[in-house]
């Protein structure tokens, strides 16, 4: 078990209620002036609720908004399971409304995290200043800035709630103002953020996590505020590169296994998960297939509704690229090479079978087909038969956790990763930033491809860079962000044909606007 995971589950601050764009009501708390934290360990434990809240939906509902709305992933109904009122269908078709539960859930998650940060900072203000207090406060402010960034990226104009217990209902602020706040907040926190990158700081914002956040902010600046900041993005990437703290891993698959953690050289900032004490990462349950449970030694049944689309899988076109191995496609075998079979009937295999012998028992080898064809378009359903359950190539990037007694895995999930830094720098140079340190866009991409065992490029374009980001960053909750920045979010994939550019940001949930009429709805909704 990873030490930091146990630490993050210690919640000495009460987690706040989900909605925080309404009046924040002070809650009872175990911390009083008599027992307030005085040293670094105590301040760190007092900040636990913010990290627990951030962890809560990062690898589930937040990931869904960023990935199911893109060409990267699709979550169809499988035999009436997972229809859930059409919420996932809406994400795929881009037909979501302000009443979509996933959109409301992520808003609630993001602003609850911000509210937790606000409460912690409010409590810290009651304690005398000390180095420990000011350093941990800088970490919480950076986590809050990251949460504001994710909310701004998804919803555009958002409220800037920074005071706990403020009785005034906040108003939405322009994306430009939110951008400026995030930049200022992170820069002010930087001097007090740690440069240590070991288990003592793992899962907490360090100076390098702040650089990565600013790099991501600047790379997307033209989308957010209409002004490019590519040279600034390169400058932040260079601070990370020159630090010498991070490196590309030789074992790509190993980065994402259940025993990943502080020793993972590519992780700049990650969300720690544990199958018992820090739950919330369920990629195996979402992605794989029930017939694979035995292969991976899992005592629970996989649901497996999510797969990728042929359009996305087409990016994996190098036969030698080790990143191909994150996908399960075609016929499946167990660890000894024996075919994985499913006991069924001819009719159970294929519901469209019309022969008289439909009840005949058969053994069918599990085979994932690339196409995700619908048998019921209205219900977004691929069918209730065995063939329907096997439609779609499956992502196995976060390898199954054989030690898990439930569908929660111990694989930590990266927020910022060193490979992303190299790709961000390459992209910023392609978009006009000056090359630095002898690194060009082509050399940066080829450095990555070399260690991933893929053929080097002779030239590099923005279109090819986007494809490289698909290969490297799949299932890390950046695909929607990438497609918008590259002007591809209005494209067609799967069953999606919607081309409305206002869908680049999600609507403010109806439930939040009922609670707070000061929230102005986004254009188009």
Residue 423 sits in the same domain as residue 381: no
36 assigned to some structural domain: yes
Residue 155 sits in the same domain as residue 223: yes
Retrieve residue 277's tokens: 């004490």
Tell me what pLDDT residue 8 has.
44
Q: Mean pLDDT over residues 211-222, rounded?
A: 98
Q: Which of 395, 429, 459 is the last residue of a domain?
A: 395
Residue 377 sits in the same domain as residue 267: no
Q: 273-331 pLDDT, tens per residue?
A: 999 999 999 999 999 999 999 999 999 999 999 999 999 999 999 999 999 999 999 99
Determine the length of the chain: 525
Angle at 355 between CA 351 and CA 361, to 5 degrees: 70
Q: Which of 368, 395, 422 is the last residue of a domain?
A: 395
Is residue 21 pLDDT above 90, yes or no?
no
Identify which of 5, 58, 1 has the alpha carbon closest to the alpha carbon of residue 475: 58
Residue 390 sits in the same domain as residue 329: yes
Tell me what pLDDT residue 29 has.
47
307 assigned to some structural domain: no
Q: 43-74 pLDDT, tens per residue?
A: 999 999 999 999 999 999 999 999 999 999 99
Q: For the chain, give the percent of residues with pLDDT over 90.
A: 90
Cβ contact 275:62 at 8 Å: no
Mean pLDDT for the chain overall:
93
Identify which of 150, 392, 412 has the alpha carbon closest to the alpha carbon of residue 286: 392
- Helix ranges restricted to H, 401-455: 418-430, 441-451
Q: How confident is the model at residue 2 (pLDDT cuts 50, 70, 90)?
A: low
Is residue 126 pLDDT above 90, yes or no?
no
Tell me what pLDDT residue 14 has.
34
Tell me what pLDDT residue 119 has.
96
Tell me what pLDDT residue 198 has.
96
Is residue 16 pLDDT above 70, yes or no?
no
Tell me what pLDDT residue 32 has.
58
Is residue 3 pLDDT above 60, yes or no?
no
Q: How confident is the model at residue 6 (pLDDT cuts 50, 70, 90)?
A: very low
Residue 242 sits in the same domain as residue 327: no
Tell me what pLDDT residue 380 has.
97
305 assigned to some structural domain: no
Q: Which of 370, 395, 420 is the last residue of a domain?
A: 395
- The residues near 53 (Cβ < 8 Å, ≥ 6 apart) are 15, 16, 109, 112, 113, 116
Q: 25 or 298: which carries more pLDDT confidence?
A: 298
Cβ contact 430:228 at 8 Å: no
Residue 95 sits in the same domain as residue 136: yes
Identify which of 30, 63, 32 has the alpha carbon closest to the alpha carbon of residue 49: 30
Residue 380 sits in the same domain as residue 416: no
- Computed on alpha carbons and rounded to an integer, the radius of gyration of the chain in Å comes to 23
382 assigned to some structural domain: yes
Q: 323 is in which domain, residue-wise?
A: 315-395
Tell me what pLDDT residue 127 has.
87
Identify which of 364, 357, 387, 465 has the alpha carbon closest to the alpha carbon of residue 420: 465
- CATH classification of the domain holding 443: 1.25.40.390
Residue 376 sits in the same domain as residue 422: no
138 assigned to some structural domain: yes
H or E element that contains 367: strand 367-368
Q: Which of 81-85, 163-167, 287-291 has the lowest mean pLDDT?
A: 163-167
Q: Mean pLDDT over residues 417-444, rounded?
A: 98
| pTM exceeding the 0.75 threshold for the entire prediction | yes
Residue 370 sits in the same domain as residue 431: no
Question: Which residues is 307 bridged to in the sheet?
Answer: 74
Q: Which residues of 474-496 are buried (b: 16+ CB within 10 A; e: fewer)?
A: bbbbbbbbbbbbbeebbeebbbb
226 assigned to some structural domain: yes
Residue 7 sits in the same domain as residue 148: yes
Angular region, 141: left φ>0, alpha ψ -120 to 50, beta rest: alpha
Q: How confident is the model at residue 342 (pLDDT cuts 50, 70, 90)?
A: very high
Q: Which of 16-30, 158-172, 372-386, 449-463 has the lowest mean pLDDT?
A: 16-30
Q: For the chain, give the percent of residues with pLDDT over 70.
A: 93
How many domains is the chain partitioned into structurally? Answer: 2
15 assigned to some structural domain: yes
Q: 472-490 pLDDT, tens per residue?
A: 999 999 999 999 999 999 9
309 assigned to some structural domain: no
Tell me what pLDDT residue 33 has.
58
Residue 67 sits in the same domain as residue 208: yes
Q: Mean pLDDT over residues 425-437, rounded?
A: 98
| Distance separating alpha carbons of residues 17 and 39, to the nearest angstrom | 28
Residue 49 sits in the same domain as residue 172: yes
| Distance separating alpha carbons of residues 328 and 288, to the nearest angstrom | 8
Q: How confident is the model at residue 199 (pLDDT cuts 50, 70, 90)?
A: very high
Tell me what pLDDT residue 277 has.
95
Identify which of 23, 13, 20 has the alpha carbon closest to the alpha carbon of residue 123: 13
Q: Which residues of 237-263 are buried (b: 16+ CB within 10 A; e: fewer)?
A: bbbbbeeebbebbeebeebbbbebbbe
Identify which of 418, 387, 475, 40 has the alpha carbon closest to the alpha carbon of residue 248: 418
């Amino acid at each position: 078990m990873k030490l930091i995971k146990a630490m993050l589950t210690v919640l000495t601050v009460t987690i706040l209620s989900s909605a925080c764009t309404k009046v924040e009501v002070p809650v009872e708390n175990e911390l009083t002036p008599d027992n307030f934290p005085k040293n670094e360990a105590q301040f760190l434990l007092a900040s636990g609720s913010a990290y627990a809240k951030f962890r809560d939906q990062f690898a589930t509902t937040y990931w869904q908004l960023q990935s199911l709305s893109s060409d990267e992933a699709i979550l169809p109904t499988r035999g009436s399971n997972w229809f859930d009122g059409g919420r996932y269908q809406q994400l795929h078709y881009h037909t979501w409304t302000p009443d979509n539960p996933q959109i409301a859930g992520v808003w609630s998650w993001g602003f609850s995290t911000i509210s937790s940060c606000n409460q912690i900072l409010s409590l810290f203000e009651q304690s005398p200043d000390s180095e420990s207090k000011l350093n941990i406060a800088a970490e919480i402010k950076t986590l809050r800035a990251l949460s504001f960034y994710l909310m701004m990226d998804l919803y555009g104009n958002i409220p800037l709630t920074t005071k706990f217990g403020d009785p005034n209902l906040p108003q939405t602020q322009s994306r430009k103002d939110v951008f400026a706040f995030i930049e200022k907040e992170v820069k002010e926190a930087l001097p007090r953020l740690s440069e240590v990158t070991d288990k003592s700081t793992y899962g907490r914002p360090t100076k390098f996590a702040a650089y990565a956040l600013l790099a991501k902010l600047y790379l997307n600046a033209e989308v957010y505020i209409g002004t490019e900041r590519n040279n600034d993005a390169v400058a932040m990437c260079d601070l990370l590169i020159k630090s010498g703290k991070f490196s590309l891993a030789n074992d790509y698959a190993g980065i994402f296994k259940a025993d990943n953690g502080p020793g993972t050289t590519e992780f700049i900032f990650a969300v720690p998960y544990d199958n018992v004490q820090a739950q919330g990462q369920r990629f195996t349950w979402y992605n794989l297939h029930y017939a694979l449970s035995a292969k991976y030694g899992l005592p629970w049944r996989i649901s497996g509704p999510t797969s990728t689309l042929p359009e996305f899988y087409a990016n994996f076109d190098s036969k030698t690229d080790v990143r191909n191995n994150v996908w399960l496609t075609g016929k499946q075998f167990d660890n000894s090479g024996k075919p994985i079979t499913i006991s069924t009937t001819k009719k159970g295999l294929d519901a469209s079978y019309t022969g008289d012998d439909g009840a005949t028992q058969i053994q069918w080898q599990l085979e994932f087909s690339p196409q995700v064809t619908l048998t019921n378009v209205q219900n977004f359903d691929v069918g209730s038969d065995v063939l329907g359950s096997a439609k779609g190539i499956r992502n196995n990037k976060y390898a199954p956790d054989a030690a898990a007694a439930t569908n929660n895995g111990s694989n930590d999930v990266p927020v910022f990763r060193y490979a992303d830094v190299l790709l961000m720098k390459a992209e910023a140079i392609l978009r006009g930033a000056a090359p630095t340190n002898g690194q060009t866009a082509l050399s940066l991409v080829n450095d990555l491809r070399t260690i991933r065992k893929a053929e080097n490029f002779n030239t590099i374009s923005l279109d090819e860079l986007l494809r490289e980001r698909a290969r490297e960053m799949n299932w890390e909750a950046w695909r929607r962000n990438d497609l918008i920045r590259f002007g591809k979010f209005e494209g067609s994939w799967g069953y999606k044909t919607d081309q409305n550019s206002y869908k680049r940001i999600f609507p403010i949930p109806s439930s939040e606007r009922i609670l707070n009429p000061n929230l102005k709805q986004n254009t188009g909704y």
